[in-house]
Chain A
C-alpha cells in the first residue's frame, strides 16, 4: 500500500518536471537561433533578464500581463475538461467585453454594486456567445470547432458595426479610434498596487495590478472547487474522459456539455476586464486580439488544471516580455523574435505532451 503511494508521487513529480524540461529545451532553441542571427546569447539572456526579473516593476508587469491570459487559459481548460474543444473563446471574449462595457456605460450604481454588475454582464455576454454553438453541438452534432470559429468571425463583424454605428461615442475631431462612449467612473477598476506596497513589494503606480487580478484569483479558486470538489465537476470530468461511460453511468451528458460550454464562454467573457475597465475605460474592437487562441496553448501547457493554467499564463507573459527585451537590447530582428517565442511555446507544449504520454504508459504498465 505504502509503496504504491510513493510510486504515484514519483510520476506526479515527473508530470510537474516535464514543462520545465520543455522550457529548458526551448532555451536551447533560443540560443541556436540567436547565434545563427549573429547575436551573442549572453547579451540575449541579459536582455531577457532586464525585461523580466531585474526589477519589481518588470515582475509586476509580467503578473499584470498574465491576468487576461489566465482567463483565456481557464476558459479553454474548463471546456477541455468536459471534452469540448472551445475555439470560440476569442469571440466570447469580444462579445462578453462589449456586454460588460455596455453595463458599465449605461447603468448607474454605486461602485460596490456596479463593479460586480459589469463582471456578471461580461460573463453573461461570453456565455451568450457560446450558447448557439453549444446547442448546435448537442442537438445537431455540429462540430464545435467549426461553429465556434465561425462565431468568432461573426462576433468581430457585429462589433465592428455596433461600435461604428449605433454605439459610437466618438466626438467629432477627437480621437480617430472608433470607440463607444466612456464607461461610468463607478464601473472602472481601481489598482491595488498600494496593497502590494504595504506587503513590501515595491510596485510602481503605472503597472496595471487592478481588480481583475482579484477576480482572476476568485475565479481560479471557484473553478478548482467546482471541478475537483463537487459532484457536478466530477460529472463534467467524467464526460470529458469518456462520453459512453458517463452516459452508461446515467449522467445527463448533453446537459453537462452545454453547461461546460456556457461556463467556458462565461470565463472567456472575463478576458477583456483588465483592458476595458482598468486600461481604456471604453470599448473598442481594437482591444487585444488573439488572446482566445493563446488560451488553447495555455490550457495545454497547464494540463487543464487551474493551478497549471496559473503557471502557464505567467510563462506566456514572461515569453512576451522576453521578446520585448530582445527587441530593445539586441539586434535580433523583430520577425525572428516572433519565430523564437513561437518555437519556444511549441517546444514546451510538445515536450509536455510527450512526457505526459510516457507517464500514462508507465502508469498503465504499473497497473497491469
Chain B
C-alpha cells in the first residue's frame, strides 16, 4: 500500500512538471498550410541533427505566423501554418505508417528526417500524389522536377573546406588531423573538403606527412565511441598535430577531451559544438569549450525551412534533389561569442574563400581520394 502511494505521488509529480507546458492553442478557421515531420527513433532531443530539424519548424512558425501542434515548448506565433511532428518506435512499418497518417490527415508537406526514411517515404509518396514529401540526407533514385519527393542533400565538403582553411591559417607550423566516425563515403566527403581547404591556404601542409587522418570503425557504433576518438586524438597530438577536425558524431567528445589535456585545438561538426560546450551546465564540459576553435555546421534547420518557404510562397515545392551548400546557407562554419576574437584576424580571408566557392571559382573535391588530382589542377 505504501509503495502504491509513493508511485501515485511520483506520477502526479511527473504530471505537474509537464502540465505547465500544455495549454489550448489552436483557433477556429483552419490553417493555410499543414506541415508534418517525422523524426527517427529517439530523434527529438539529440542536440544535433534532429533538434536542428525542429529548429527549422520553429523558424517556419516564426516567419509565417504558425504554431507547432502539441509541442511541450508551446511554440505559437499565429494560426496561419500548422506544424506537427511525430516519432516512430522500432518496427518494420512504423515509419511508413506515420508518414501515411500525416498525408491522410491533409498535411501538405511531410518531412522524413534521416536516411532511414528512404524506402518508406518512396512507398507512401506513390499513394499520395498531391502531398509533397521531403527527406533529409536520403537518396531516392529517379526523381525529377515534377516528382512529389524532394531529397535534401548537403554539400558537407564545402563547409569542411572552410574549416580546413581555418585550420590551415591557424596552424602554427604543426600538423593537422582528421578523425572520421564510420568509414562510409559520406564521411570521406568531410575529409576531402577539410584537407583541400587546409592545403589551399597553407603550402606547408601540402606534404602528405603533414596531414593525419583516421577512421574509428566500420559500424555505426563508431559514431558514439568517445574513448576511441580520445585515443586517436591523443596519438595525433603527440605526433605533432595542432588542430584536429572530427566528423564522428558523439565520438567527438573524446577529441575535445584530448584537446583539453594537450592544450591543443579541435573543430566540431554538425552543430555549433563550441557554443554548446561553452554554455553547458557542468564546469568540466565548459572547460572543454575553450579548445573548440569552430565547428562545421550542417544547417538541417535551413533546409527544412527553405523547403517550407517554397511551399508557402509558391504554393508548390519542386521535386528532385536539392543541394544545400555554402550558397544556400546549408553548410558553414560556426562563429560565436566564444571564438570570434580568435577568428577575427583571419575572418576576411575565410569570407573571401567562401565567396570563391559560392561563385564557383573554387570547386571543392567531395572525397579525399580526389584531393590529389584537385591539388594538381588548382594549386601550382
Contacts and interface: CB of A to CB of B under 8 A. Distances in A.
B16 interface: yes
B221 A160 contact: yes
| Chain A interface size, under 10 / 10 to 19 / 20 to 34 / 35 or more | 35 or more
A68 B98 contact: no
Given A38-B19, A160-B218, A176 B100 contact: no
A313 to B, nearest CB: 13
Given A36-B11, A280-B119, A330 B19 contact: no
A324 B90 contact: no
Contacts of A330: 70
At the interface, is chain A mostly helix, strand, loop or mixed?
Answer: helix
A65 B93 CA distance: 8
B80 interface: no
Contacts of B93: 61, 64-65, 208, 275, 279
Given A320-B91, A328-B86, A37 B218 contact: no
Contacts of B139: 173-176
Residue of B87, B97, B100 with most partner-chain A CB within 10 A: B97
B77 interface: no
A365 B123 CA distance: 59
A287 interface: yes
B157 to A, nearest CB: 14
A35 interface: yes
A63 to B, nearest CB: 12
Interface string B15-27: 1101101100000
A289 B137 contact: no
Contacts of A174: 139, 141
A35 B97 CA distance: 28
Interface string B103-120: 001000000000110110
A176 B136 CA distance: 11
B342 to A, nearest CB: 34
Interface residues of B, number: 47
Given A36-B16, A274-B92, A177 B97 contact: no
B30 interface: no
Contacts of B143: none
A339 B197 CA distance: 48
Contact of A328 (B72, B101, B138, B186): B101
B258 to A, nearest CB: 25
Contacts of B185: 172-173
Interface string B332-353: 0000000000000000000000
A353 B357 CA distance: 67
A320 B89 contact: yes
Contacts of A206: 96, 100, 123, 127
Contact of A36 (B12, B90, B123, B218): B12
B138 A327 contact: no
A157 B184 CA distance: 17
B44 interface: yes
A244 interface: no
Interface centre among A32, A64, A324, A330 (most CB of B within 10 A): A324
B362 interface: no
Interface hub of B12, B14, B119, B219 (most chain A Cβ within 10 A): B219
Interface in B36-91: 44, 70, 72, 84, 86-87, 89-91
Contacts of B89: 320, 323
Q: Which of B12, B92, B182 has the most CB of A within 10 A?
A: B92
A37 B15 contact: yes
A157 B101 CA distance: 35
Contact of A38 (B22, B86, B219): B22
B316 to A, nearest CB: 25
Contact of B87 (A164, A173, A327): A327
A331 interface: yes
A291 B91 CA distance: 8
A208 B100 CA distance: 14
A246 interface: no
Contact of B8 (A32, A208, A333): A32
Nearest to B117: A177
Contacts of A328: 84, 86, 101, 105
7 contacts: A37-B18, A165-B218, A173-B139, A206-B100, A208-B92, A320-B89, A331-B22
Per CB-CB distance, the 6 closest pairs between chain A and chain B, nearest first, are A36-B15, A275-B92, A160-B219, A176-B115, A38-B19, A331-B70
Given A37-B15, A280-B92, A286-B116, 7 more contacts: A35-B15, A36-B14, A177-B116, A206-B96, A279-B93, A288-B94, A332-B70
